[in-house]
Amino acid sequence: MPRVSKRKSHPVKSSEPSPKKITKEVERIDSFFASYANTSIGMIDPEGVEKLCSDLSVEHTDVRVLMLAWKMNAKKQGYFTQDEWRTGLKSLHADTLKKLKKQLPELQKEVAMEENFEDFYSFSFRYCLTEDKQKNLDIETACVLLNLVLGPAYNLQVDSFIEYLKFQKEYKVINMDQWTNFYRFCQEIEFPDLKNYDDCLAWPIILDNFVDWLREKSTSA
C-alpha cells in the first residue's frame, strides 16, 4: 500500500480584522466621541455637534452633517448617542478627526448612489421631525430641506416647487407621502414641459395643484 505523505497544514489568514484590532478601533472611536460629548447626558448635544462641524470646517447647516447623521442612523436632530456614533464611524473607518474629514467626500458619493439616496431622502424628513408624535413638516422647514437635499440634483423642479409652496395658502405642512412623491415626480416627470404628467394617476393632490399652477403660469407668460 503506497505511503501517503502528511502535509503540514498552514492556517489560512483571514482578511477580517482581528478582534483585538476591532477593540482598539472602538476604543479610539469612543475617545473621539468623548471629545465632543456632554458628560452629564452621555451623548453629543447641539453644542458638541457645532464644535464637530467647526473642527470639520463645515457649517452645521451643510448637507454633509445630515449625511453623517444618516450614516449613524441618528434618531434625534442635533444629538448623537455613543451607539450611533460607533455605528457611523465604524462603517466609515474613521476613528480620528483627520480620518472623518477625509471620509466626507466618500460619504457624499455613497449617498449619491441610487440605491442609497432614496433612503437618505426619507431619513432627512424623519430626522427633522423634532417633536414627539410629529408627522408633518411646516412649509418653511420643508422648503429649506428640499433645497438642501434635492436642490443640487433637481434645481429647476425644487426651485419651482418651493415658489409654489410659498405662494399657495391651502397647505401649512408637508407629510411623508407628499415628500416622497415629490422625489418620484423629479425622477419621472419631464420638466418643465410636464408632458408625461397624468393627474389621473395616484399623485398627491398637492402635486396636481402644483402642475396646474405651473401650466397656468406658462400660458399666461
| 183-205 average pLDDT score | 96
- Can you tell me whether residue 33 is helix, strand or coil? helix
How far apart (Å, rounded) are the C-alpha atoms in residues 47 and 45? 5
How far apart (Å, rounded) are the C-alpha atoms in residues 108 and 33? 22
pLDDT confidence tier of residue 23, bands split at 50, 70 and 90: confident
Decide: residue 77, CB within 10 A, 0-12 exposed, 13-18 middle, 19+ buried. middle
Q: What's the pLDDT tens digit per position in 132-185?
A: 999 999 999 999 999 999 999 999 999 999 999 999 999 999 999 999 999 999
How far apart (Å, rounded) are the C-alpha atoms in residues 39 and 34? 8
Secondary element (H or E) of residue 181:
helix 176-188
- In DSSP notation, 74-115 reads --STT-EEHHHHHHHHHHHT--SHHHHHHHHHHHHHHHHSHH
CB atoms within 10 A of CB 156: 11
Question: pLDDT at residue 4 above 80?
Answer: no
Q: Which residues contact 150 (CB under 8 A, 6 or more apart)?
A: 121, 157, 158, 182, 183, 186
Q: What's the pLDDT tens digit per position in 72-123?
A: 999 999 999 999 999 999 999 999 999 999 999 999 999 999 999 999 999 9
Cell triple for 16: 477580517
Question: pLDDT at residue 6 above 60?
Answer: no
Q: Which residues contact 64 (CB under 8 A, 6 or more apart)?
A: 56, 58, 104, 107, 108
Can you give the pTM of this predicted structure?
0.87
